[in-house]
Structure 1
């Protein structure tokens, strides 16, 4: 089943960015949900039966980047057994095709998932198909921020010329935070965050578009939070950059792709589950979906949630929701 779904991503429609796709400083705030406190769930199977599908985040929800969280494997099985179609929706900068294999290697049952869509897939499709004036006039010469030891992101087949001199670039593409790409077949060069900031400052003065193929600001990486390319959007905004396009959560484009993969049209048929108020919850709101906030992910320290203390203090949660302009419908300590 997942192979057919993956096959459709290559032909999905990625249109010209609207204001809702562009980085506005923190989060997309156009749509606010109910101001009532979210309903607390003991287990994910306590969800109402009105939903047809689940948009499920990975990092900080299913696993810590290395190991699955206790109860997460069983929770996914329980969702599937309830008849829900479970679609992974991830801000991973890598293509969708490898997502379920990695989860299977951690012990998740691949057949429990309806498929996966990643921000890396959305970015690839946007650059490949070039639909709309923005994409048609974007140019082909780019500065490419990618990963180093974790494995560089391939741009093969996109017709891009990777340059190292920002003065020669027509746009900046951010997949990772560790290295400066040199093009397929060439080794990327490790780069510091300070050097990245220098390049972004020049790019901002030249009004170059910044495309972010992973809008996460941080992600869970075992026992700490790792800085992610979404932080570049904040920096670019502060530097006066005029054109910063997010190609994953919370931008609507990835939710449209997810609904297309599921063959659904009404966002109220879908519930999103994630641990980032800024990305998963605010993005679901903007897309018109209900949401479940997993408090034990990237916000765990702020909320005082841990493996030994799973109580979510509503006052702290409400303050954090107000800070991020996001309002989940439900909250659960961990996916269980």
Structure 2
């Protein structure tokens, strides 16, 4: 398997893109596209939207102002919406969360006059991949793993996909779902309580994983994010992966945006809805340049960058408030990103996801 840096490097290779009638190109030295007034300015230019959730339509507990109305309007116009999320949880968690906030109808709710919302999460893809153990990057993994987890559903997650949590010295691979607890620290297979996460515990576990074999034990990253959607400075699995690689690990397997597997799963959802992704007009909406915009660009779809999300501090705007950033701030942010990522820029920009 390729390393984390190599995986990102592959994504930065030029790929053919379908021209969009509203495509706005930006070189590192040109001005940024002005944030559009509302989602309605581009809604009918696309057949389907791959929609990020955290930092775009809600904060994990509460829907952002106008987000429910915006999603409902897209559905009313016949647009297929697929939530594409780097959540390390199963998609059932996302569906329940969306319904509790007023989004819907969603998949599994029976017949509807509008296209239901579908959900693809990186955590679900990892669970399905580990359960089937039939294809890369899961087919060659063993049964025993040490888990960096969220501290809530890790034991059930591991058990139901047919794996068992063990100490690093007995593990076949490491699974990173979160950085709140470590599952696999007990003395035997019958006693595997989680222990609290700490930087020291992480380093000890990663060094043991690195020493287990040349290049280290495989690390499956179920959430490759490096920054929390709310911008808070807390540990993320993507940073753990970077630290493991810095130690010398060579077998790191990230699942989620910006990597291809999650976009393949989204295309499968579009196909179920009768949409041929190869010929359809598809846009990915998100607030992360490094995950949403880069992932869309390298996987053949347009992108809509939400300014009031994870980059709100750099743009000096209130988070989730749909306040347009100053043109020079947006231009500088996008120019810097483009210069570091092979000229990649968003197709469109919105101050916030609302009508």
The TM-score bracket by the shorter chain reads: 0.7 to 0.9
Matches within 5 A, 1:139-218: 139-148=142-151, 150-152=152-154, 154-164=157-167, 166-182=168-184, 187-205=193-211, 206=213, 207-218=216-227
CA shift for structure 1 position 273: 0.3
Q: What SS class does the counterpart of residue 144 from structure 1 fall into?
A: strand
Distance 1:42 1:26 in 2: 36
CA shift for structure 1 position 38: 3.7
- Pick closer, same or farther for the CA change 1:309–1:43 going to 2, 3 Å: closer
Would you say the 8 A contact 2:323–2:351 is kept in 1?
no
1:4 maps to none
Distance 1:302 1:26 in 2: 26
Matched, 1:317 2:317: no
Would you say the 8 A contact 1:267–1:288 is kept in 2?
no
Distance 1:184 1:155 in 2: 14
CA shift for structure 1 position 286: 1.2
1:304 maps to 316
CA shift for structure 1 position 284: 0.8
Residue 347 of structure 2, aligned match among 329, 332, 335: 329
Would you say the 8 A contact 2:322–2:353 is kept in 1?
no
CA shift for structure 1 position 224: 3.0
Matched, 1:24 2:5: yes
CA shift for structure 1 position 159: 2.4
How big is the alpha-carbon RMSD for the aligned residues of Structure 1 and Structure 2? 2.5
CA shift for structure 1 position 271: 0.6
Deviation digits for residues 85-133 of structure 1, max 9, x if unmatched? Answer: 0111110001112212211212223346431010011101111112247
Distance 2:204 2:339 in 1: 29
Would you say the 8 A contact 1:60–1:219 is kept in 2?
no
Q: What SS class does the counterpart of residue 160 from structure 2 fall into?
A: coil
- Pick closer, same or farther for the CA change 1:231–1:71 going to 2, 3 Å: same
Matched, 1:107 2:102: yes
- Which region of structure 1 is more displaced relative to structure 2, 94-103 or 266-275? 266-275
- Pick closer, same or farther for the CA change 1:250–1:267 going to 2, 3 Å: farther
Would you say the 8 A contact 2:158–2:164 is kept in 1?
no
- Pick closer, same or farther for the CA change 1:72–1:133 going to 2, 3 Å: closer
Matched, 1:78 2:73: yes
Would you say the 8 A contact 1:272–1:284 is kept in 2?
yes
- Which region of structure 1 is more displaced relative to structure 2, 286-295 or 102-111? 102-111
- Pick closer, same or farther for the CA change 1:110–1:133 going to 2, 3 Å: closer
- Pick closer, same or farther for the CA change 1:267–1:178 going to 2, 3 Å: farther
- Pick closer, same or farther for the CA change 1:277–1:137 going to 2, 3 Å: same
CA shift for structure 1 position 193: 2.5
- Which region of structure 1 is more displaced relative to structure 2, 311-320 or 27-36? 27-36
Matched, 1:231 2:234: no
Matched, 1:258 2:249: no
Q: What SS class does the counterpart of residue 154 from structure 2 fall into?
A: coil
Would you say the 8 A contact 1:155–1:184 is kept in 2?
no
- Which region of structure 1 is more displaced relative to structure 2, 167-176 or 247-256? 167-176
Q: Which has the larger radius of gyration?
A: 2
Would you say the 8 A contact 1:212–1:244 is kept in 2?
yes
The gaps in structure 1 that reach 5 residues or longer are 1-16
CA shift for structure 1 position 41: 1.3
Distance 2:4 2:47 in 1: 31
Residue 295 of structure 2, aligned match among 283, 296, 301: 283
Matched, 1:124 2:127: yes
The gaps in structure 2 that reach 5 residues or longer are 18-24, 107-114
CA shift for structure 1 position 185: 9.0
Distance 1:82 1:144 in 2: 43
Q: Report how many aligned residue pairs link the two structures.
A: 314
